[in-house]
Structure 1
Amino acid sequence: MPQQINLYVDDLRDCPEGFILARTYEEAIAIIESQDVNILTLDHDLGEDEHGHELPNGYDLVKYFCEYGLKVDKIYLHTDNPVGRANMYETLLAAQRRGFIHEDIEIYYYPITKNVYSGN
């Protein structure tokens, strides 16, 4: 069985010990689709492009995850955006109820790690 990884999706915060970091929506999808992920922890806001337009965010990632029935063991939401957190959480639960994602994925409204931003 392949070794499981833990994935931390965030554009600014420091990556916690024991996690692999994805700074963008695209990086996160590539990792989830190619690795066996135990813990996925999500930020909502994933930055802006050079023109100030919002890049695909954690909610976009949740929608993709649900649409394609991706699999991880546990999902935590570490975002400080309360509306984004609620949207991601409710979408995941609804997708699980409807059978779009595995029923055994554990979904948590809160973070598993402390948010740290050192600016590095």
Structure 2
Amino acid sequence: MINLYLDDLRDCPEGFIVARTFEEAVRVFQEHTINLLSLDHDLDEDEQGNELPNGYDFVKYFCENGLRASKIYLHTDNPVGRKNMYETLLAAQRRNFIDGDIEIFHNSITPNKYSGD
């Protein structure tokens, strides 16, 4: 089992592997069993300034595909994005789209750090 940190900019915390895009996160889930999942909301823009698929898009993918992680943390600084991701995960549990024993946390498990590397 691995711990996955989905974030386009922040430093990857010790004990996690990082996915910088929605697509990378999907690939990691296809290849590994996930223990801890930590999610950012905003995942950059393309060359034309259009928002790329974000953490909320990943939450919807996670729920639609019945994926699994033991615990999910939301480390985003975007308060609206955090609320949307959190409420969607809880609703998916109530509707049995995702396992009811997944622990979902409204906050981060690690401090957010940016080194610029």
TM-score by structure 1 length?
0.96
Structure 2, unmatched stretches of 5+, are none
Deviations 1:39-72 (A, max 9, x none): 0000000000111100000000000000000011
Looking at structure 1, the residues matched to 97 and 33 of structure 2 have their Cα atoms a distance apart, in angstroms, of 19
Task: Provide the secondary structure at the position in 1 that maps to 2:29.
Answer: helix
Instruction: State the 4+ residue runs in structure 1 displaced beyond 4 angstroms.
Output: none
- RMSD value over aligned CA atoms? 0.5
Q: Which residue of 2 aligns with 1:47?
A: 44
The residue that corresponds to 1:82 in the other structure is: 79
In 2, Cα distance between the equivalents of 1:67 and 1:55?
19
SS at match of 1:91: helix
Match among 21, 24, 32 for residue 24 of structure 1: 21
Hey, what does 1:119 align to over in structure 2?
Answer: 116
Counting matched residue pairs gives: 117
Give the TM-score of the pair, scaled to structure 2.
Answer: 0.99
Query: Counterpart of 2:65 in structure 1: which amino acid?
Result: Y
Q: Give me the identity figure in percent.
A: 71
2:37 aligned with 1:70, yes or no? no
C-alpha displacement at 1:34, in angstroms?
Answer: 1.7
1:98 paired residue number:
95
